[in-house]
Structure 1
Amino acid sequence: MSLESTRLSYERITRKHTQELQPILCDPRVYVHVDDGVAPSSNELLESFISREVGPYGDRSHERWVDYVVRLRESRTAIGRVEATVIEHRAEVAYILGFPYWGKGYGSESLAWLQQFVQKNYGVKEFWATVTPGNISSRHLLLKNGYREMSNDNLPQLMSYEQNDWVFFKAATA
C-alpha cells in the first residue's frame, strides 16, 4: 500500500524525527485535551520515539505498534503523527497534528489512510479510539469518519482508555 494519500505522505517514525517534530509535538496548545494538558519535553519525545522504534516488550509483546510521521506531500513539511496499536483483530488509533494544521481536513485524511493501512497489513477488523471529555474537535473528527460513540459498558480491554473517556468504534470496511 502506498505511503501517500491525496495531500499527505507518511513515513515510519524513528528517533531521527525528534528534532523535526519537536516544535509541533511539544507545543502546549496541542495538549489542551490530551495527557492532562502537559506537552512532552524534547527528551520525553525522543524517549517515546525510541520506544516506538524498538516496539512492544514484556507483557505487551502481543501488540504491534504502527507509528507514522504525517507530512504535506508538496512541501514535505512534517505536520504531526498517526498511530495504531494493533491487538489481534482490532486497532486503537490516535492522531496528533500541529496546531497550525487543525481544521484543514488533514486529521480525517490521515486517519482514513491509517485505517486502510492497518486493515490491509495487519488484518484489522475493528477500530477503536478514545477521547478525553471536552475534546469536541476530536469527537467531531471521529463521528465525521464513521465512528460511533460507545457506552462505557462491556468495552474490550483498551490500552489507552481511562474511566471517563469517550470511546468510539468503527468496523473495518469489507
Structure 2
Amino acid sequence: MQIQDIFGDLPSVETERLVLRKVSLDDVADQFAWTSDPLVTQFLTWGPERSPAETERSIRYILSLYAQGQVSPWAVVLKETGRQIGSCGFNWWSPVHRRAEISYMLNRHYWGRGFATEAVAAVIRFGFERMDLNRIEALVSPANLASRRVLEKVGMRPEGILREAINVKGVFADHIMYSLLRREWAQAQVARREEV
C-alpha cells in the first residue's frame, strides 16, 4: 500500500459524536479559536498563532498536502454543532515498516469530555484497518498528563523517554514514546466484544 492510496482522497471518519473530515478554509475561525490558545499549544513545537491570517496559512498548507496525496490530518468536528473543535491524524507513515505516528489537539473548551479519546480511537482504528499498520506511535511531553491519559485510555503503552528529542519553541525537551501494536489492538477489540 502506498501513501497516495489513502491520502490521495482522505475519507471522512464518523464516531458517535464526531466527524473527522478534511480541513477547509471555512474552518479558519473555529481553528483559530484553539490554535491561538497558549494552553492548547504549550507542549507543541509551534504556536500560539497570532491571527486568523496565520491560521489560514496553516490551513492552506494542509490543503496542499491533501492535493499532493501526502500524510495530513483530519479536522475534528462536533456532530451536534458542525463546529471544528480540533485536529487529529497522522504526522508520518512508513508503509514499508507499516508504522505511523499520530498527534491530536483539541479546543480547551472541549477538554475533559472524552472527545480526544474518541477521535484518537477512531484514527487508530483507521490506521490498523485501512492503512494496514502494525505499529502506531505517539510522542508526548512527560508534563502533559491529560494527553498521556488519552493515549493510555486507547491502549497505548509508554516505552521510554527520548531525551531532548523535540525542540519545543527553542528548548530541547524530553518526550515519552508511546506505542500500540496491531495484535494488542486486535486482542482488545475481541475482549470488548466478549464483554458486551
Q: By the TM > 0.5 criterion, same fold?
A: yes
Instruction: Provide the residue aligned with 2:86 in structure 1.
Output: 80
Instruction: Provide the residue aligned with 1:14 in structure 2.
Output: 24
**Contact kept in structure 2, 1:22 and 1:45, CA below 8 Å:** yes
* Whole-angstrom CA distance in 2 between matches of 1:135 and 1:76: 28
Alignment of 1:1-174 (within 5 A): 3-35=13-45, 38-41=47-50, 42-55=52-65, 64-84=70-90, 85-88=92-95, 89-152=98-161, 162=166, 164-172=174-182, 173-174=185-186
**Contact kept in structure 2, 1:64 and 1:86, CA below 8 Å:** no
In structure 1, what residue type is equivalent to 2:31?
L
Q: Deviations over 1:124-155 (max 9, x none)?
A: 221100012311111111112111111247xx
Change (3 A) 1:115 1:64: farther
Q: Unaligned regions of 5+ residues in structure 2, if any? A: 1-10, 167-172, 187-196
**Contact kept in structure 2, 1:52 and 1:65, CA below 8 Å:** no
CA-based RMSD of the aligned residues comes to 2.4
Change (3 A) 1:139 1:76: same
In structure 2, what residue type is equivalent to 1:110?
A
Change (3 A) 1:87 1:18: farther
Instruction: Provide the residue aligned with 2:4 in structure 1.
Output: none
Structure 1 stretch 129-138 or stretch 24-33: which is displaced more? 24-33
* Whole-angstrom CA distance in 1 between matches of 2:30 and 2:102: 23
Q: Unaligned regions of 5+ residues in structure 1, if any? A: 154-160
**Contact kept in structure 2, 1:126 and 1:170, CA below 8 Å:** yes
Question: Percent of aligned pairs with the same residue?
Answer: 23
Structure 1 stretch 123-132 or stretch 10-19: which is displaced more? 10-19
Change (3 A) 1:74 1:16: closer
In structure 2, what residue type is equivalent to 1:114?
V
**Contact kept in structure 2, 1:82 and 1:93, CA below 8 Å:** yes
Provide runs of 4+ in structure 1 moved above 3 Å: none
In structure 1, what residue type is equivalent to 2:56?
L
How far is the alpha carbon of 1:9 from its aligned partner? 1.0
**Contact kept in structure 2, 1:126 and 1:171, CA below 8 Å:** yes
TM-score in terms of structure 2 length: 0.72
How far is the alpha carbon of 1:93 from its aligned partner? 0.4
TM-score in terms of structure 1 length: 0.80
How far is the alpha carbon of 1:120 from its aligned partner? 2.7
* Whole-angstrom CA distance in 2 between matches of 1:23 and 1:117: 27
In structure 1, what residue type is equivalent to 2:137?
W
* Whole-angstrom CA distance in 2 between matches of 1:129 and 1:108: 13
**Contact kept in structure 2, 1:79 and 1:101, CA below 8 Å:** yes
* Whole-angstrom CA distance in 2 between matches of 1:103 and 1:112: 16
In structure 2, what residue type is equivalent to 1:128?
E
